[in-house]
Chain A
Amino acid sequence: MKSDIAAHLKEMLELEDAEIQEFYDAFITEFNKSCTELQENGVDSDFQKLRIITHTMFGYCENMGAMDIFALAKELNTAAKAADVPACQEAIRKIFKMHEAYLAEG
């Protein structure tokens, strides 16, 4: 969550507390984008698209230290590779739930 991201950014980028919020906002913007794309794509249409979305998520989640979302993106990626619709649905549901939790944290 936010505290994990802050700790990661402090450690990896040697950021000051005052700088963290700006990075966190940028992260939330990307996360919003990914969720919108997931919503638009649907769960049973384009598995390739799902893999591209999750690859993007890997990048910024790893960068920001959002390893909980990273894990869910990995779950979705694996399900998309296997063309497993129920598993994809479940992973997306979890991601959306996580998204709500992050938004609630501000």
Chain B
Amino acid sequence: MNMDSPFRLFLFTPGVVMSDVIKVLAVDDVEANLMIIRGCLKGDGFELVTCTNAVDALQKFKEQYFDILLLDVIMPGIDGFELRKLIRATDPDRPIIFLTSMVEDKNMTMLNQITWDANTYYLNKAVGKKTLIQKITEVVTTYRQKLMEHKYSDQMEEERVLAGDLQKVLLPNWCICNDDVLFSSIYVPYMHVSGDLYEMIPFGDSKYLFFIGDISGHGLSAALYMAAVQSWLKMTLRDNDIKIHELMSRLNKFFCEDLQSKNYMTALAAIIDFKNNHISLHSAGHPGLIFASPGKKTVRLSDTKKGSTPLGWMADAVFPETENYDCDFDDDTIFVAITDGVLDMTNEDGQTMPEEDLYELIQCQLDNPNVVALPYRIKGIMAKMGYDKAPDDFTIVAFQKRSARKGILERVIPAKLSEVDKVAQEFSAITDDLRQSTGIDLCVREYLNNIVVHGSHDKKKAPDLIYVGIGMENGDLVLQGAERGGKWDITGTRETNDPQLFTPDPESGGKKPEEEENLFATSGRGIQIIKALTQYVSYETNCGLNETKFVFNKRTPES
């Protein structure tokens, strides 16, 4: 609802209580006519205020709440139509009944003028008590019902937003980096709240339960089921020896019997042993798990012939062990899981993207794999291909075994200045070269301070978490950052979705003098320090994820 709408003003104006009494404002310049109205509406059920001119009526209308206005058309000064116009400027919905004589209105000019407004009605002056009361009651009842519907839908909307916010809190952080796994996700609910859920729950000895599900529907019920499933999963994992098909079977029972759900859920659950590179998964009508191998440059899907029916269809459904999919995986395997919403994205012609294209798209990312950015890049590329119309919730999750990321020191930190210092110290310690170490320290500090400080000015733009990693890439020392705050414009001059490249020339900085000045003005000394310390900085934004890359020792073409 429009926050300025009269409905809202009515519903949330202190002192305004919707009662059984109907408050009426009657305006007529002829006292005898007002007397008739008084006669009609005397007794319980009505509270009548009368005015003999439009100016007084407007004043009363501003001061008090009225359910309905009874207006005469022809009045000296401001007439009934003008008065309606003045009321409609702020209140398009308040019912108005014109009480007038239509003797002169042979070509219906007056009647047409009265009825162009959807919330204006007409009654002949000599209408009688019964008809007047009946009409007023009918119109006001409809109006009040409309008010209540708006109030209800307003409350529902607020609850939906709250449910959506709670869901985001219940889901894992978008990026997780621990000893075993680097995990990243993009989650876009279709209507504030979503039926999608995912989890990566450790349960000891480098074993994890990975779960991704899609509950039918988008509303509050889907959100509540999602919360229930999440807490059930965490409780059930206390049983360390549980097999994946048993988990699905128990979850199905919980869904059907405990929740008595009318919804159903497709889900893919996997027990991943990162120590022994083994995965055991079970799909209940959910898209398969994608195995992408940067080393072999291959992308494959878990066996889609195996699996069971979605959860919630039948309480006694069987989820047999034979339908589990077990396999070993390479150290460097990047796992990608999606919900149906990804493949349901359509282009302008209403076409969805063929599944093969999605795998090809992931394969293209293997030349320069970036687990943290991968879900965002996939969504971004899909949008560039035209698949940007979402009819459903959209979730992509990517994760990789941490030990595969040898030589990369990486952290996911909250966007707090206190964390910057820790990371700068830790990262600068990766080299014994004092000059390089100082350079890393300064660059990390300048970059993170920029993100944290600029983000903190505007809560909406403030990132929640920041991923930072440093390591060797093609012989160069590379610092990478990813966060979901406001766009941090490395050039300090514009905001764009296009990848930006900043390659400073030793003499001119690669910029025209005025741009250079602008740059400095925007980013202060920070950009100058980063320029001095790096050979190459790139910045890219994909679906809200800002990726920044600093290359410290890139060889120039001359060298």
**A62 contacts partner chain B, Cβ-Cβ < 8 Å:** yes
Question: Is A55 a contact partner of B101 (Cβ separation < 8 A)?
Answer: yes
From the candidates B29, B32, B104, name the one contacting A63 in the complex (CB within 8 A): B32
From the candidates B35, B101, B129, name the one contacting A58 in the complex (CB within 8 A): B101
Taken residue by residue from 305 to 342, chain B's Cβ proximity to chain A (1 for < 8 Å, 0 otherwise) reads as 00000000000000000000000000000000000000
Whole-angstrom CA separation of A64 from B34 in the bound complex: 11
**B153 contacts partner chain A, Cβ-Cβ < 8 Å:** no
Question: Is B128 a contact partner of A12 (Cβ separation < 8 A)?
Answer: yes
From the candidates A22, A23, A30, name the one contacting B30 in the complex (CB within 8 A): A30
From the candidates A15, A30, A63, A77, name the one contacting B126 in the complex (CB within 8 A): A63
Question: Is B31 a contact partner of A29 (Cβ separation < 8 A)?
Answer: yes
Residues of A1-38 at the interface with B, using a CB-CB cut-off of 8 Å, are: 8-9, 11-15, 19, 22-23, 26-27, 29-30
CB distance from A80 to the nearest CB of B (A): 11
Whole-angstrom CA separation of A32 from B127 in the bound complex: 24
Question: Is B72 a contact partner of A15 (Cβ separation < 8 A)?
Answer: no
Known: A59-B100, A65-B126, A74-B103. A26 touches B74 (CB 8 A): no
Known: A56-B74, A62-B124, A77-B104. A13 touches B39 (CB 8 A): yes
Please indicate which of the listed interface residues A29, A51, A62, A77 has the most CB atoms of chain B within 10 Å of its own CB: A62
Whole-angstrom CA separation of A1 from B315 in the bound complex: 84
Least CB separation from A12: chain B residue: B128
CB distance from B36 to the nearest CB of A (A): 5
**A101 contacts partner chain B, Cβ-Cβ < 8 Å:** no
**B125 contacts partner chain A, Cβ-Cβ < 8 Å:** yes
Determine the interface band of chain A, counting residues with CB < 8 A from chain B. Answer: 20 to 34
Whole-angstrom CA separation of A9 from B88 in the bound complex: 34
CB distance from A38 to the nearest CB of B (A): 15
Taken residue by residue from 52 to 92, chain A's Cβ proximity to chain B (1 for < 8 Å, 0 otherwise) reads as 10011011101111000000001001000000000000000
**B233 contacts partner chain A, Cβ-Cβ < 8 Å:** no
Whole-angstrom CA separation of A40 from B40 in the bound complex: 34
Least CB separation from B127: chain A residue: A12
Least CB separation from A23: chain B residue: B35
Q: Please indicate the chain A residues that have their CB under 8 angstroms from the CB of B128 in the complex.
A: 11-13
Q: Please indicate the chain B residues that have their CB under 8 angstroms from the CB of A56 in the complex.
A: 29-30, 74
Taken residue by residue from 84 to 107, chain B's Cβ proximity to chain A (1 for < 8 Å, 0 otherwise) reads as 000000000000000011011000
Taking chain A's interface residues, is the majority helix, strand, or loop, or is none over half, making it mixed?
Answer: helix
Q: Please indicate the chain B residues that have their CB under 8 angstroms from the CB of A13 in the complex.
A: 36, 39-40, 128-129
Q: Please indicate the chain B residues that have their CB under 8 angstroms from the CB of A23 in the complex.
A: 32, 35-36, 39
**B173 contacts partner chain A, Cβ-Cβ < 8 Å:** no
Taken residue by residue from 182 to 197, chain B's Cβ proximity to chain A (1 for < 8 Å, 0 otherwise) reads as 0000000000000000
**B33 contacts partner chain A, Cβ-Cβ < 8 Å:** yes
Whole-angstrom CA separation of A58 from B30 in the bound complex: 11
A-B contact count (CB 8 A): 66
Whole-angstrom CA separation of A62 from B28 in the bound complex: 14
Whole-angstrom CA separation of A8 from B126 in the bound complex: 10
CB distance from B136 to the nearest CB of A (A): 15
Residues of B167-203 at the interface with A, using a CB-CB cut-off of 8 Å, are: none
Question: Is B101 a contact partner of A59 (Cβ separation < 8 A)?
Answer: yes
Whole-angstrom CA separation of A26 from B38 in the bound complex: 13
Whole-angstrom CA separation of A37 from B56 in the bound complex: 24
From the candidates B35, B103, B104, name the one contacting A26 in the complex (CB within 8 A): B35
CB distance from B236 to the nearest CB of A (A): 73
Please indicate which of the listed interface residues A12, A51, A52, A55 has the most CB atoms of chain B within 10 Å of its own CB: A12
Please indicate which of the listed interface residues A9, A58, A59, A62 has the most CB atoms of chain B within 10 Å of its own CB: A59
Please indicate which of the listed interface residues A30, A60, A64 has the most CB atoms of chain B within 10 Å of its own CB: A60
Question: Is B32 a contact partner of A64 (Cβ separation < 8 A)?
Answer: yes
Least CB separation from A22: chain B residue: B35
Whole-angstrom CA separation of A47 from B478 in the bound complex: 93
Question: Is B33 a contact partner of A60 (Cβ separation < 8 A)?
Answer: yes
Whole-angstrom CA separation of A74 from B33 in the bound complex: 18
Least CB separation from A74: chain B residue: B103
Please indicate which of the listed interface residues B39, B72, B126 has the most CB atoms of chain A within 10 Å of its own CB: B126
Q: Please indicate the chain B residues that have their CB under 8 angstroms from the CB of A65 in the complex.
A: 126
Known: A64-B36, A65-B126. A59 touches B31 (CB 8 A): no
Taken residue by residue from 14 to 41, chain B's Cβ proximity to chain A (1 for < 8 Å, 0 otherwise) reads as 0000000000000011111101100110
Known: A15-B39, A52-B74, A55-B74. A63 touches B125 (CB 8 A): yes
Binding site for A on B (CB under 8 A): 28-33, 35-36, 39-40, 72, 74, 100-101, 103-104, 124-129
Give 6 nearest A-B pairs by CB, closest first: A62-B126, A58-B101, A12-B128, A26-B32, A13-B39, A30-B32
Binding site for B on A (CB under 8 A): 8-9, 11-15, 19, 22-23, 26-27, 29-30, 51-52, 55-56, 58-60, 62-65, 74, 77
List 28 A-B pairs, Cβ < 8 Å: A9-B39, A11-B128, A12-B126, A13-B36, A13-B40, A13-B129, A14-B129, A23-B35, A29-B31, A29-B32, A30-B32, A55-B74, A56-B30, A58-B101, A58-B103, A59-B28, A59-B100, A59-B101, A59-B125, A60-B32, A60-B33, A62-B124, A62-B126, A63-B33, A64-B32, A64-B36, A77-B103, A77-B104
